[in-house]
Structure 1
Amino acid sequence: MHFLHVLRFSLAAALTLFVNLANADAASRYCPDFLAVKGAAEPTHRGEFTFSPFTHHWSQNPEHKKVVMVAFDEQLPGDRLCGVSFFTNSFGQPSVYVYAGQQFNALLGVPKLYAKVTGGLMYGYVAPYENKVPLNYNGFSPAIIPSLGYRLSQHDSVQLQFLGNAALMFSYGRQF
């Protein structure tokens, strides 16, 4: 029952954030102002919704569960971003990741190829799985997640998130 309660809360929080980002005017931001590059051009999109239905674990563990993730990023001047991700971790525990990051466009001279690096604080790996992520303290741990993306259209992309030596996450992104 606890899992369903947390999942409902997480989905409600994600939906609220998405609606607020989609309806806010360009001048209002949810990310702290110091993350934006002063004097840089405004981003072409307000934010991005990301959904991952599948994660491939490098090692097979009978305790692994299906990982599902939804994330919302706010785009900032200077190809910066901040956001929140709600997911079920590899052991079925509801989890959240709050982060800031940088996007690198036209990677290797390919206009549609990009990379992102985010860093932040994750919560969710609790007993008996608290030792499955480094530097975990009462379920809280730092995280750095690099990803590689490819733009399918002006608004749509596919992405790979590299989850350390544990897994590779496949996702779809939709900018708005």
Structure 2
Amino acid sequence: MISAFGAAWLACVCALPAQADEGHVLSLQFGPYVHHWDRDPEHNNTPGMLGLEYTAPSRWLAGASFLRNSFDQPTEYYYAGKRWDLDGLSPHLYVKVTAGALLGYTGRYEDKIPFNHKGTAFAVIPALGYQVDRYSAQVALLGTAGVMFTFGIDLGRW
């Protein structure tokens, strides 16, 4: 179930104005697997992450993701960030950094992520991605916990 904060954030992202110039992108992302550095049998390695992200022509972005965290708790991540294309290395490579509110690490798992207070934490997530046409794949660094592998598809460009 989405929180009130999440509903407000999604409403803001969906209400972003479209301009006449091209470069606006709305994408859907799926995160099927997390590799944890620590092989704790309690860890959930299949978060089922589903996300929606808007990217402006300036490459600034905003989004929301919904998943099951490392301890199988429902979790939400509402973020803003920036993407940099690495055309000098490859026309398909990019780096992305996002920062925002991570909701869901509660109870006995509250201390498993830094800056967490009663289930709400601040997170910064850097990622390296590869995109061809409408399809992308990313490896996102989850602090000292591990990496998440994600796949995306651009739903629309205008």
Displaced runs of 4 or more, over 3 A: none
In 1: Cα distance, 2:36 partner to 2:56 partner: 32
- Please give the secondary structure, in 2, of the residue aligned with 1:131: helix
CA contact (8 A) 2:24 2:56 kept: no
1:139 aligns with 2:139: no
Distance 2:80 2:17 in 1: 21
User: Which SS does the other structure have where 1:128 is aligned?
Assistant: helix
- Unmatched tracts of structure 2, length 5 or more: none
More helix by share: 1
Q: Please tell me whether the aligned partners of residues 45 and 175 of structure 1 are also in contact (alpha carbons under 8 angstroms).
A: no
Residue in 2 that maps onto 1:148: 128
Q: Which residue of 1 aligns with 2:54?
A: 74
Aligned length: 149
Partner of 1:37: none
Identical pairs, percent: 39
Aligned residue type for 1:125: Y
Q: Contact 1:26–1:46 (CA<8 Å) still a contact in 2? A: no
Aligned to 1:44: 23
What runs of 5+ residues in structure 1 fail to find an aligned partner?
A: 1-5, 28-40
Whose RCO is larger (CA < 8 A, sep 6+)? 2
The structure-2 alpha-carbon separation of the partners of 1:175 and 1:138, relative to structure 1 and needing over 3 Å to count, comes to same
Shift, 1:77, TM fit: 2.9
TM-score, normalised with respect to structure 2: 0.84
**What secondary structure is seen at the aligned counterpart in 1 of 2:152?**
strand
Q: 1:71 to 1:105 in 2, by over 3 A?
A: same
Indicate whether 1:92 and 2:72 are aligned: yes
Between the aligned partners of 1:44 and 1:70, the Cα distance in structure 2 is 23
Please tell me whether residue 54 in structure 1 is matched to residue 46 in structure 2. Answer: no
Partner of 1:31: none
SS of corresponding position for 1:129: helix
Task: Write out per-residue CA displacement over residues 103-155 of structure 1, whole angstroms, 9 at most, x where no aligned residue.
Answer: 0012543110001000001100000100000011110000000000011x210
From 144, 147, 158, the counterpart of 1:168: 147
Q: Tell me, yes or no, if structure 1 residue 119 matches structure 2 residue 99.
A: yes
Aligned to 1:26: 18
1:77-125: per-residue Cα shift (whole Å, max 9, x none)?
A: 3110001010100000000010000000125431100010000011000
For 1:113, give the aligned amino acid. Answer: L
The answer to which structure has the higher strand fraction is 2
Distance 1:114 1:75 in 2: 13
TM-score computed with the length of structure 1 as normaliser: 0.76
* SS class of match (1:77): coil
Q: CA RMSD in A?
A: 2.5
